[in-house]
Chains A and B, each alone.
Chain A
Amino acid sequence: MDDSIAPIVDELNRALGIDRDTLERELTLLIVDYKVPVEEARRSLIKKHSKESLNPGGEDAGKKANDPSIKLLKDLRNGDTGVTVLANVVEPRYRDITTTRGNVTVINGMLEDSTAKLHFTAWTEAPLLFSGRAVLAKNVYVNSFHGMPSVNIGEKTTLEEFEGGVPGYTSRRCSLSELSESDGAYDIEVEGDVVSIRPGSGIIERCPVCSRVMQKGQCRAHGRSEGVKDLRIKAIVDDGTGSMISVFDKTLTRALLGIELETELESGEVENIEERLKIALIGMPFVIRGNVTRGDYGRILIATRAHRPMEDIGKLARELMVSLK
């Protein structure tokens, strides 16, 4: 959450009894997306909500149904329906896919606002998506696609071109506690420490047909065959607020381990690989960028990039002390 938002959320939550999620959403929309000055955002929310809490139910409820508030993309959950989003359309393209009802042409691409970037599918023809402008999409629904929330634009969806322009998405720094409760997230960044190396790290064999990891030369779908050697790390990363399994592919593994250890590993002559990986990684901090996918085995952070944090700790400590005086 933006630093300027948290205190206002606290204040209005106490003063008006409005739930914190609503406050955070509306404040983020005003302050982060629309760059409204903080004081003005606060004032407008007080006005809006104190009116609402004075109005008796009936009329108010009817009005809300026609004018549902816009949801930030980061707040979308699998199973959400009747949602309104305001987002940029990124790289839309037509695609023919096969469904149970035969072949259909859909539009695929990404939607982004300042809080998240998500995959979308439009099941109906919607030229507006190619206008290069942001769209206000009412009545979309959300389901899981590749382990991440995905926005569906269907027949009941109404699309409007949005003139104002929506700030784009750049990889967002998240706490692991936030991600541990999400339904997945695309291109986020976390900073945490490696607290455990899971079995199945190091040199593994993949099935030549389906790329699944093989156990003792056996693929669980394709049986015995000559596996393809691969290198990966499954590590538990913990940032003090939450923890998650993070998977590093071959390139990242060699990047994290350094060339010497990786060369040794590939020579196949290293004994006790797990121990060597632990020595190289346990307790080490990393900044990891990637996607969180939510599947049958829980949530996994699939790393696309990773590096050691390079912050100047002395400077940060001095600044923190000054701010506390």
Chain B
Amino acid sequence: MSDREVARRVFAREFNDSNLQQGESIDRSPNFIVTPVGVICNRVFIVGVMTEVENIGGEGQTMHRARIADPTGVFTVYAGEYQPSAAVFLSTVKTPAYVAVVGKARVFNPEKDTYYMSIRPEEINLVDEYVRNRWVYHTALFTLQSLRNMERALESGLKGAELERYMRPFTIDSAGIARAMDHYPLAPDRMDVYRRMVMDALATITDAAPPQETAGDGMALAIIEDLIMRLDRGDGVSYEALLEASQKLGYDEETVEKTLNSLMDGGRCYEPRIGILKLI
């Protein structure tokens, strides 16, 4: 069983600046692209705002092209007949919308020196603003780490196989870094450009709202309902016993009361005697 490719987190600008492919010659082996900061990606996970969907299919075939913006640029996603569920999603989604995409990185190279980067979706789904903000933050962390690796590589003065060996203890991208150093033009301010990109991306989420409390409610509901079921030996559960068990799982009295109220409102639990709870 071969290992599943990890879904890399990269910003649109770094992704779109890529024009280096790796591994295309071997049959059935995955295709990789190497970004200018040496990240080797086959599968990517991106979250952004879907701003536009176009049906660009010709006669009798469907092909959707969607644009997904992050703070640094725009990802292009293509879905055709071999991505049926993504195609259904794209034909019904209303823009703008926060979406998450898991997919494979593709390079289209119609003529010399012209490269179009895109993503072929495996999964696509609606998410919310919190998920997007969290993705920007985590992608910033990953990108900063890649930039640090790249700086270390530059400082070493090494190249090729020697550089790859030197970088191996620090990152899974050692091969990518060695290839990127060879392939991409090395302007001295290059890493600064991407560092600024990360800072600008972070600046867009500094006043992000904390996640809404309601996100946790479903969790409390399910867990407390489950506790009532487990603790019930036939004649219900006392409120005290339930509270004690809930507190062990990290729920305070207020949450327990609130949750019990919504369970009762929802007709899922009742109070046969005062202070005794039972599921319906």
State the A residues within 8 Å of B (CB). 10, 13, 20, 176-177, 180, 193, 195-196, 236, 238, 240-243, 251-252, 254-259, 262, 275, 278-279, 282-285, 298, 305-318, 320-321, 324
Contacts and interface: CB of A to CB of B under 8 A. Distances in A.
Interface of B: 1, 3-4, 6-9, 45, 47, 85, 99-102, 122-127, 130-131, 133-134, 136-138, 140-142, 144, 169-170, 172, 195, 199, 202-203, 205-211, 215-216, 218-219, 221-223, 225-226, 249, 266, 268
Contacts of B210: 310, 312-315
Nearest to A257: B218
A177 B172 contact: yes
Contacts of A252: 222
Contacts of A238: 6-7, 45, 102
A320 B141 contact: yes
Contact of A308 (B140, B205, B211): B211
Contacts of A284: 100, 127, 131
A314 B211 CA distance: 10
Given A251-B223, A259-B218, A314 B266 contact: no
A147 B110 CA distance: 50
B144 A313 contact: no
A256 B223 CA distance: 10
A204 B137 CA distance: 37
Nearest to B262: A259
Given A236-B4, A307-B216, A317-B202, A195 B144 contact: no
B100 A240 contact: no
A285 B9 CA distance: 14
A254 B125 contact: no
A298 B4 CA distance: 11
Contacts of B134: 285, 309, 311, 313
A84 to B, nearest CB: 26
A179 to B, nearest CB: 12
Contact of A320 (B126, B127, B140): B140
A251 B126 CA distance: 24
Chain B interface main SS type: mixed
B169 to A, nearest CB: 6
A255 B219 contact: yes
Contact of B222 (A20, A180, A254, A318): A254
Given A195-B102, A196-B123, A283-B125, A241 B6 contact: yes
B206 A283 contact: no
Given A308-B216, A313-B134, 11 more contacts: A180-B3, A254-B222, A256-B218, A258-B218, A259-B225, A259-B268, A275-B85, A278-B125, A285-B131, A310-B215, A313-B137
A73 B135 CA distance: 33
A243 B131 contact: no
What are the 9 tightest A-B residue pairs by CB atom distance, in nearest-first order?
A: A283-B100, A255-B222, A314-B208, A282-B125, A258-B218, A254-B222, A251-B226, A313-B133, A312-B210
Contacts of A321: 199, 202-203, 206
6 contacts: A252-B222, A282-B102, A283-B101, A308-B215, A308-B216, A314-B205
Contact of B102 (A196, A310, A313): A196
Contacts of B47: 283
Nearest to B101: A283
Contacts of A242: 6
Nearest to A191: B138
Given A240-B45, A284-B131, A259 B221 contact: yes
Contacts of A307: 216, 219
Contacts of A309: 134, 211
Given A308-B215, A313-B130, A259 B6 contact: no
Nearest to B208: A314
Contacts of B266: 259
Given A238-B7, A275-B85, A320-B141, A262 B45 contact: no
A7 to B, nearest CB: 11
Nearest to A282: B125
B122 A196 contact: yes
A311 B170 CA distance: 28
Contact of B45 (A195, A258, A320): A195
B232 to A, nearest CB: 15
Contacts of B195: 324
B49 to A, nearest CB: 13
B6 A324 contact: no
A240 B85 contact: no
A259 B7 CA distance: 30
A5 to B, nearest CB: 14
B137 A320 contact: yes
B222 A251 contact: yes
Contact of A317 (B131, B137, B169): B137
A314 B209 contact: yes
Contacts of B223: 251, 255
A275 B271 CA distance: 37
B123 A308 contact: no
